[in-house]
């Protein structure tokens, strides 16, 4: 039947593909085993040669690593199993091994000023500083090429992405929280390289000159409004205090206070003081509707 033939053909193709995969795996295993045996033989021959000519080749096979460094050794293109060598003195085979030294100290680098557009469409120039250190030298060497440049580029893109999701007000008032979020984002992205991001700090925020003038004008206007409100509140309190004081004075004491106020006025050419009897004022006020 046509349908049965198609199903059988599909099954046969799958079976052939599986057999090809199995043969490839066996071939890779055999090839890998042969190269491993060859590498072991070369290593044994090299060790025997070094032992036979030890006084002459001993100084060529020794290397010293500082306390803050580790050495990752590639023998015939493969990393030697176990942790990285160091610190101190260790032995290697010069014609079979390639050594890459990794610094384990905390590295600090500055992110050059980046042009950032905030969430409220404000152009901003920001620079930051990042502190990180390598945890596993073998992973750092084998999983990333030029780890310093990769971390630097990642920090630049993370800075732009993190600040672009916040408004200018949030950036100015929440610098510590934004730096913490940037640190977490860097750690999440670089942990595949066994890098520990220890700290991220925003150094400087540069605003356009026109925006700085607008913010200064706004701050000045807010301060003036606040000062006027304070003066008005003081005048209200003073008037209430004077009203309370005047309500407690007798007519004679009120008249004496009136005369004392007149004597305290400075006599200048621009000020003319005319004293009127209080009875006249009372008569005038009594005729008011």
Residue 117's domain is classified under what CATH number?
A: 3.30.479.30
Whether 183 contacts 199, CB under 8 Å: yes
Residue 98 scores a pLDDT above 80: yes
Beta strand extents in 76-221 (DSSP E only): 78-79, 88-91, 97-103, 107-117, 123-134, 195-206
In a domain, 238, yes or no: yes
Selection from 128, 244, 234, 101 nearest residue 185 by Cα: 128
Boundary-marking domain end, from 164, 180, 207:
207
Average confidence score pLDDT of the chain: 78
Are residues 198 and 242 both part of a single domain? no
Q: Which residue in the block uniquely carries the two structure tokens 């610098």?
A: 175
Which of 172, 207, 242 is at the close of a domain? Answer: 207
Are residues 232 and 195 located together in one domain of the fold? Answer: no
The pLDDT, as a whole number, for residue 103 is 92
Domain-located, residue 154: yes
Specify whether 200 is located in the same domain as 250. no
Indicate whether 95 belongs to any domain.
no
Q: Which helix (H) or strand (E) holds 260?
A: helix 251-264
Res. 31 pLDDT band, cuts 50 70 90? very low
Helix and strand numbers (H, E) in the chain are: 9, 8
Phi, psi angle pair for 273, to nearest 5°: -110, 125
Does residue 144 share a domain with residue 182? yes
Q: Is the residue at 61 inside a domain?
A: no
Side-chain-side CA neighbours of residue 13 (13 Å) = 6
Confidence at residue 229, expressed as pLDDT on a 0 to 100 scale = 92
Q: How far apart are CA 62 and CA 32, in angstroms?
A: 30
**Is 18 part of any domain?**
no
Angle between helices 175-190 and 147-164 (to 10 degrees): 140
Domain range for 164 is 107-207
> What's the structural domain count of the chain?
2
Is the pLDDT assigned to residue 2 strictly greater than 60? no
Of the three residues 156, 191, 207, the one that is the final residue of a domain is 207
């Amino acid at each position: 039947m046509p349908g049965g033939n198609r199903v059988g053909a599909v099954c046969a193709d799958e079976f052939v593909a599986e057999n090809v995969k199995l043969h490839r795996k066996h071939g890779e295993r055999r090839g890998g085993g042969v190269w491993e045996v060859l590498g072991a033989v070369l290593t044994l021959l090299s060790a025997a040669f070094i032992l036979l000519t030890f006084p002459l080749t001993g100084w060529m096979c020794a290397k010293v690593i500082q306390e803050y460094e580790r050495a990752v050794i590639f023998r015939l293109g493969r990393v030697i199993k176990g942790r990285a060598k160091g610190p101190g003195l260790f032995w290697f085979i010069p014609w079979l091994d390639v050594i890459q030294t990794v610094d384990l100290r905390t590295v600090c680098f500055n992110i050059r000023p980046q042009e950032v557009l905030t969430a409220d469409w404000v152009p901003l120039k920001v620079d930051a500083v990042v502190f990180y250190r390598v945890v596993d030298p073998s992973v750092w060497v084998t999983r990333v090429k030029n780890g310093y440049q990769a971390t630097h580029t990642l920090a630049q893109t993370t800075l732009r992405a993190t600040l672009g999701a916040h408004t200018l007000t949030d950036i100015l008032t929440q610098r510590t929280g934004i730096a913490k979020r940037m640190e977490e984002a860097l750690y999440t992205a670089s942990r595949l390289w066994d890098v520990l991001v220890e700290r991220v700090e925003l150094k400087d925020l540069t605003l356009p000159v026109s925006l700085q003038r607008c913010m200064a004008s706004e701050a000045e206007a807010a301060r003036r409004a606040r000062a006027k409100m304070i003066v008005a509140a003081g005048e209200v309190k003073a008037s209430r205090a004077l009203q309370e004081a005047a309500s407690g004075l007798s007519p004679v004491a009120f008249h004496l206070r009136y005369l004392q106020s007149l004597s305290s006025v400075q006599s200048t050419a621009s000020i003319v003081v005319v004293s009127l009897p209080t009875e006249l004022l009372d008569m005038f006020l009594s005729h008011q509707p």
